[in-house]
Structure 1
């Protein structure tokens, strides 16, 4: 009990975190068995925004496992939402009053998965009254599981994760993405790439926002930003970073919430410098 209230991480004897871990691991292992065995590739928002039957199968598996344990909870999954930023925002808004909302990306990095490039992940978060309380990102290629509970720290295979110690951009390894929205978000993000590439140690664009965020939490990257992401790309990774001592805001520096689409996540030490560079380059998306 906390302040006379039941702890939000448990219903009865069932731990949300245990279910999230088990579900992400099962989905990830199933996805891995499908590598190189894709019968159909469709596009969603643009010709670069891919979806396969493996994405859909993974989401179905995740939904079934969560609903078995928590039939009264709600689930917001990427494959259950129409493509495009407006539909994503609307879907989140429609579920924003739910007490317990699972936010799921069944494969973050589908393009990598399709090409056999081993950088993709399963992202599962649980929000309680709009606040993320559990976050799990699983990388099946490396069998690395990143997990965080609000107020209880973040871990990778039992070892506490901590953000990196770099204090300046010039010694920082920073990641971003190339958004599927070629007319809008990509143009803005490329301004940021152009402005930042001479000012950081190096940039990485590996194609899974959830995994990039997990890498910030684990100290492998000093920061990450991207324009035009969705709640399911960010929710789990944001908690991982916060619980590892880092900072997560939107690209204008405002506090993170589930509605944030333009994300800035760092070790905290380079946050202000990175935010100012994005603002100076008119690359915040605002």
Structure 2
């Protein structure tokens, strides 16, 4: 898949940062970790990956801004463009030796995501998209699933941990989605949940309490694969509301209504 210069920079940076993550993942029991809160850990590998990504991306585009999970936000000389990065989405999976985690990189231009990369280094799956250019998994064009009925569809979500306030709402969501669907999966990596919707592996995904770096790349990849993405509340934005609902076009309205009614 032939991408723009920016997309190629993003893919190159993801692969470079992934080398250190994969090396440490093989020795996960030796990782030094510090607590950021109940059930939420940041590893030495996580911080090193963000540093590598920041150096690579800002090294190529020094005027762009920066928003990352682990480091301070940087206001770029070009106020219209910024990188939005999660160096290790699925940190808890990573620290437990579960091979389901990813690097997520998005490029925002004038408030809109115009390029996205999600790299699942453990499986060597590179999900990419540019606005108007389609979505790809490595060199294969992606399309969302074509299922038309929720009862035949599988959905993904994120479950709050450590006493986070979203628990009552998500339990209500599950109480409505589970009886109406073929199942719900909780794999622990929001970026990959969205990538899997784009690939047709999931038919839909929703979550409450997300951050921009969790979903910025994935929301574009889903849209470019033919899916729909919106905040759970119909007003506002995904980033401001910290909520997201995504699905293929055939079931999006039905699925979103189930979530919104709960």
TMscore range, shorter length: over 0.9
Tell me which residue corresponds to 1:137.
118
How do residues 134-173 of structure 1 correspond to structure 2 at under 5 angstroms? 134-173=115-154
Q: Residue 219 of structure 1: SS of its match in structure 2?
A: coil
Is it true that 1:280 corresponds to 2:257 in the alignment?
Answer: no
Q: Kindly indicate whether the alpha-carbon contact (under 8 Å) linking 2:24 and 2:31 is maintained by their aligned counterparts in 1.
A: no
1:182 Cα deviation from its structure 2 partner: 2.3
Matching residue of 1:67: 58
Does the 8 A contact of 1:248 with 1:255 survive in 2?
no
Matches within 5 A, 1:111-126: 111-126=92-107
Paired residues for 1:228-243 under 5 Å:
228-243=209-224
Q: Distance in 2 between matches of 1:64 and 1:263?
A: 30
How many angstroms apart in 2 are the aligned matches of 1:50 and 1:65? 25
Q: How many angstroms does 1:61 deviate by?
A: 0.3
TM-score by length of 1: 0.85
The answer (yes or no) to whether the contact 1:253–1:275 under 8 Å persists in 2 is no
* Number of positions where the alignment pairs a residue of Structure 1 with one of Structure 2: 257
CA RMSD of aligned residues (A): 1.9
- Structure 1 unaligned segments of length 5 or more: list them: 1-8, 82-90, 282-286
Residue 23 of structure 1 corresponds to which residue in structure 2?
13
**Cα distance in structure 1, aligned partners of 2:18 and 2:236:** 31
Counterpart-to-counterpart distance in 1, 2:227 and 2:236? 13
SS in structure 1 at match of 2:105: strand
Q: 1:101 Cα shift?
A: 0.5
* Structure 2, unaligned runs of 5 or more: none
Tell which deviates more after alignment, 116-125 or 256-265: 256-265
Distance 1:179 1:126 in 2: 27
Return closer, same or farther for 1:173/1:21 CA change in 2, 3 Å cut-off. same
The structural deviation recorded for 1:179 is 2.4
Q: Which residue of 2 aligns with 1:208?
A: 189
Deviation at 1:243, TM superposition (A): 0.3
Counterpart contact for 1:186–1:227, Cα < 8 Å: no
Which moved further from structure 2: 266-275 or 167-176?
266-275
Aligned to 2:233: 252
Query: What is the TM-score of this pair, normalised by structure 2?
Result: 0.92
SS in 2 for 1:197: helix
Asked if the contact 1:166–1:270 (Cα under 8 Å) also holds between the matched residues in 2, the reply is: yes
Of the three residues 40, 45, 68, the one matched with 1:54 is 45
Structure 2 residue matching 1:79: 3-state secondary structure: coil
Counterpart in the other structure of 1:188? 169
Indicate if the aligned counterparts of 2:89 and 2:189 stay in contact, CA closer than 8 A.
Answer: yes
1:224 equivalent to 2:215? Answer no
